[in-house]
Structure 1
Amino acid sequence: MKILHVIDSLNIGGAENLLVNYLLYTKKNSEIHNDLCILYDSKTFLYHKLLDRNINIFDLNLKNKYDLRVIFKLIKLINKNKYDIVHVHLFPAQYFCAIASLFTKKVEYVFTEHSSFNRRRKYKVFKLFDNLSYLMYKKIICVSEMAKNDLVKWIPSLSNKALVIYNGIPIEKIVERQKIYDILLVGSLRSNVKGVDILLKSLKLIEDKITKVAIAGDGILKDDLIKLRNALKLDDKVDFLGNRRDIDILLEQTKIFVLPSRWEGLPISLLEAMSKAKPIIASNVGGIPELIRDGESGILVEPENELELANAIEKLLNDTEYAEYLGKNAYKDAINRFSIEVYINNLTTLYKSLIK
C-alpha cells in the first residue's frame, strides 16, 4: 500500500506528534509505504526527526495559508506517485485535499478529525463548505467518541462515514528521576484551549503548597500568560519552558501532570503522561473522559473551575499513596488501550478495507 499523509505543518502539536510517531513506527513495515506532505515550511525538531530516519517529506513551502495554488501541487504529487490512499489531517489541508480528490483517480481519501470542536462550527455558512469537503472523504476517523458525536451533530449525514480510532503513544521504559517539579502542563500556547490561565489562577489559591511548576509549549499567547503569571506574583514558582524535545524526561521529573483544557479531542500529552505512570488531573471535556477513569486512573475536574482544580492538586500533593495508585492504573490503560502498536493495527485494518 502506498499512503500519502497530508498535514498543514510539523509545528509542535498533538496531531503532529501522533503522525510523526506513526511514520517512525511503521518505517520497517513491508506492507505500507508512507510519504508525508506538509503545506507550510516548518523545520521543527519533528521535521528533522523524520529526515533522520529517511522518511520522504514533500514540503510545498506555502507562504500564504490560503494559497489556492496548493491544490494543483497536490494533484500533481498524488497522480505522479500513484498513491492508494491519501490520509489528511487538520484544516485547511482538509479543504485543499477535498478539491484535489476531484482530479485524482483510483485514490481513496481519509480524514482524521482531531478535535471535538473547531471555530468554523460557530458559523452556519461553514456548514455548507464542511458538508462539501467531508463528502469527498471515504472515511472520517475521529479520535474519540465525543469527537464523533460532535461531528455527526454538526453534519448528521456523516454518521455512516465516521468511526473512532483512538490515538496511540510509544510506551517506553520509565526511568526514576529526582522530582524537580510539582506540576507539569504540556500544550500549545497558540490559543487558550489548554487552559494555562486557569492553572495559573488555581495555583494562586494554593501558592504556599507548591514549590515549582513547569509549562512546556509555545505560541502567540505565551507573553500574555507570562504577564498573568507575574501579575499573580508566581514568577518564582512557574517556569515557561517553551517547546521541548525532552517531554519524556520532564514527565519523569514531575510529581503530577495537569491539563485543564477548555475542549479537547484526545490529547497526546495525556497519553504521554499515562505512559510515564503520572497521576493526572484533567478537565472533564471532549475525549478526556474516554482516557481517564475518574478516581481510578486520574481526577477529572469541571472546566474553568479554578477552585476545584486547586483542591485536586493539593489532594494529590498531600496523598502520595493515592497519587501512585492513579499513576499505575493510567500506565496499565496506556499499554492495553493506547499504545502506538494498537493505533497502527487499527489504522492498517482500515486501510486494507478501503483498498479492497
Structure 2
Amino acid sequence: MMKILHIINSLNIGGAETLITNYLIYAKNNIKTDINDLCILYDSDTFLYDRLFRNGITIYNLRLKHKYDIGAIFKLIRLINEEKYDIVHVHLFPALYFCSIASYFTKKINYIFTEHSNYNSRRKYIIFKSIDYFFYRKYRKIICVSDNVKNELIKWLPSLNERSVVIYNGILEKRGEISFIEKNFEYDILFVGSLRSNVKGADILLMALRHIMNKFDKAVIVGDGKLKNDLINLRNKLGLKNKVEFLGFREDIETILEKSKVFVLPSRWEGFGLVIVEAMSKGKPIIASNVGGIPEIIKNGKTGILVEPGNELELANAIEKLLNNKKYAAYLGENAYNDAINRFSIETYVKNLRKLYMSLKI
C-alpha cells in the first residue's frame, strides 16, 4: 500500500487541476490499496473542488492569503510528517518551491514534480537558472507531460535529464456511441481555455473569425480570467457581437462539446493541451496551433489540423474548410476519437504513474 499526498496551488479551472481531479476520482474508485490525499495552497470555490468533495477525497486547504506566503512551508512540514506519506507529488509553481524547502524537514519521503508547461517567465532571466536548480534538485523524479516539455526543461537545466520522464496526461472518458455524421449542432466553433493571459490565443481566434464572419452562425468561448473584458471589447470592435458568445466557466464542458461542430485552440505555447484530448474523446474535428506538445497529440491531417501560432488567416481558412467539408470533418473526428481512447485514457495515465511510484519504493 502507498500513501500519497498530491499538492497543487488551487483547484481553479485549468489542465493541471483537471488532470489531478481525474486521477484522484479514478484512483478512489479503482485502486483500493492506495491512499491519495490532496493539499491545495489557496481557496478554490470551483466545480472541481465540489467533484472531489462529492467523491470523498480528503482535501487539506492551507488557505494562504497571498501567493508567496512562506507560512505554507511550515504547514506542509507539519501535514506531511503527521500523516506519514510515502510520496509527495507536486504540481505547478510556487508549490514547486514550497515543497522543495519542506523536503529538508520531512525525512524518508519521495518527492516528485510534474512539469506541465514548456515555458515560464523565470526562464527569461539567467539568475533563475541556479535558483531553479536548487529547488528542482530535491525531486527524485520530474514528470513531463510531453516530449516537448521535457526537451525545454532539459535545455534550461541539463542536469535534470536522468531524472525526467514523460507521462502523457489522461482524461476520464465516458465511452458511449459517438456519431460522426452531420447533426443539428448549436455551435459552429468552440474554444475552451483560460482567459487569465493571452497564452491560449482567444484573441487570435477572434481575429480569425472576422475574416469568415459570413461563413458561420455562432462561436462560443468557454473560460474566464482578467482578460475577458478586453476580449469582449475586441469582439465588439471586430463586429462579432452577434456571432461570438462568452460563456464563462462551465462545468458541462462535455455537453457543450457535443453541441459543437469544430473545436479550436490557437495557443501561443502549450505544454500538452488536455482540453484537446477531451475534444478528441467526443469525436470533434480539431484545429490547434503547431506549437509545444500539441503536435504530439494531433497528427496533422489525420486527427486534426495544425496551424502556425498567431497566423489568423491560416486559422480562418482551416475553420472554413471544416465547416464546408462535412466528410473531412467526420474523418478527423473519428480518427481523433480512436486515438484519444487508445493513447490518452486515465487508465493508461494511472498505470504509468503507479509504475513510477512503485519504482521509488524499491
TM-score between both structures, scaled by the size of structure 1: 0.99
Tell me how far apart the structure 1 counterparts of residues 149 and 178 of structure 2 sit (CA, whole Å): 34
Q: 2:41 aligns with which of 39, 42, 47?
A: 39
SS of equivalent residue, structure 2 residue 28: coil
Q: 1:115 aligns with which of 114, 117, 120?
A: 117
Deviation for aligned residue 1:175: 6.2
Per-residue CA deviations over 1:72-131 (Å, capped at 9, x if unaligned) read 000000000000000000000000000000100110000000011111111111111111
1:8-27 matched pairs, under 5 angstroms: 8-27=9-28
SS of equivalent residue, structure 2 residue 278: helix
1:10-89 matched pairs, under 5 angstroms: 10-28=11-29, 29-89=31-91
* Paired AA for residue 265 in structure 2: L
Per-residue CA deviations over 1:26-54 (Å, capped at 9, x if unaligned) read 00312211000000011211101111111
Deviation for aligned residue 1:174: 4.8
* Paired AA for residue 337 in structure 1: R
Are 1:222 and 2:228 an aligned pair?
yes
Deviation for aligned residue 1:290: 0.2
Deviation for aligned residue 1:258: 0.3
Q: Structure 1 pair 103/343, CA: closer, same or farther in 2 (3 Å)?
A: same
Are 1:345 and 2:351 an aligned pair?
yes
Partner of 2:3: 2
Are 1:244 and 2:250 an aligned pair?
yes
Partner of 1:148: 150
* Paired AA for residue 19 in structure 1: I
Q: Structure 1 pair 174/264, CA: closer, same or farther in 2 (3 Å)?
A: farther
Partner of 2:316: 310
Q: Structure 1 pair 198/174, CA: closer, same or farther in 2 (3 Å)?
A: farther
Partner of 1:96: 98
Residue range with higher mean Cα deviation, 169-178 or 245-254: 169-178
| Equivalenced residues, count | 356
- Whether the 8 Å CA contact 2:148–2:271 is kept in 1: the answer is yes
- Whether the 8 Å CA contact 1:39–1:60 is kept in 2: the answer is yes
Deviation for aligned residue 1:171: 1.7
- Whether the 8 Å CA contact 1:174–1:252 is kept in 2: the answer is no
- Whether the 8 Å CA contact 2:178–2:283 is kept in 1: the answer is no
* Paired AA for residue 128 in structure 1: S
Following TM superposition, the consecutive aligned residue runs of length 4 or more in structure 1 with deviations greater than 4 angstroms are 174-177
Are 1:208 and 2:214 an aligned pair?
yes
* Paired AA for residue 249 in structure 1: T
SS of equivalent residue, structure 1 residue 47: helix
Are 1:320 and 2:322 an aligned pair?
no
Per-residue CA deviations over 1:196-244 (Å, capped at 9, x if unaligned) read 0000000000111010001000000000000000000101000000000
Q: 2:190 aligns with which of 175, 178, 184?
A: 184
Per-residue CA deviations over 1:146-186 (Å, capped at 9, x if unaligned) read 00000000000011011000000122125667411100000
* Paired AA for residue 255 in structure 2: I
SS of equivalent residue, structure 1 residue 312: helix
SS of equivalent residue, structure 2 residue 245: strand
Amino-acid identity (%): 64
Tell me how far apart the structure 2 counterparts of residues 226 and 126 of structure 1 sit (CA, whole Å): 36
* Paired AA for residue 351 in structure 1: Y
Partner of 1:300: 306
Tell me how far apart the structure 2 counterparts of residues 96 and 77 of structure 1 sit (CA, whole Å): 13
SS of equivalent residue, structure 2 residue 102: helix
Note the aligned Cα RMSD (angstroms): 0.9
Are 1:265 and 2:271 an aligned pair?
yes
SS of equivalent residue, structure 1 residue 270: helix
- Whether the 8 Å CA contact 2:289–2:309 is kept in 1: the answer is yes
